[in-house]
Amino acid sequence: MSLASSSPPITALAARTESIGYLALTFAGKRLPLQVLRSAAGYYIGTFDDHDGPCSRESFEYFPSRDAAATALVTGAWMQRPYP
């Protein structure tokens, strides 16, 4: 399986430090900011592309409210999903 981007691989920690989506960059080749998004399952930390819509769900967890997800994003109290 090849990566979508030919740039050097980035670690999940480095992506988190830059506040960009690790999975979005690794598998879609898109450098997108982390943000709070919503699905039928709840709120999550992910990425969104203005042209293509939701790109990646980065957080393992779903959160019960937008505020809970936003707090987790700001404080770093969330777990990175290792694969899409």
Q: Give tens-digit pLDDT for 32-72.
A: 999 999 999 999 999 999 999 999 999 999 999 999 999 99
5 located within any domain: no
Q: Dig out the tokens for 37 from the structure.
A: 């998004």
83 in a structural domain: no
Task: Single out the residue of 23, 37, 36, 41 nearest to residue 82, CA to CA.
Answer: 23
Task: Tell the residue number behind the tokens 């960009």, with chain if given.
Answer: 20
Domain-embedded: residue 80: no
pLDDT for 7? 57
Q: What per-residue confidence (pLDDT) applies to 22?
A: 97
> Residue 26 sits in which domain range?
12-75
The answer to whether residue 29 sits within a structural domain is yes
Domain annotation covers residue 54: yes
- pLDDT score of 4: 52
Instruction: Tally the domains of the chain.
Output: 1
Q: What is the pLDDT of residue 9?
A: 78
Is there a domain that residue 81 lies in? no
Q: Tokens 């670690």: give the residue.
A: 11
Does a structural domain hold residue 7?
A: no
**Terminal CA-CA length for the chain:** 14
DSSP code of residue 84? -
Q: Is the pLDDT of residue 74 over 50?
A: yes
Token pair listed for 41? 């399952």
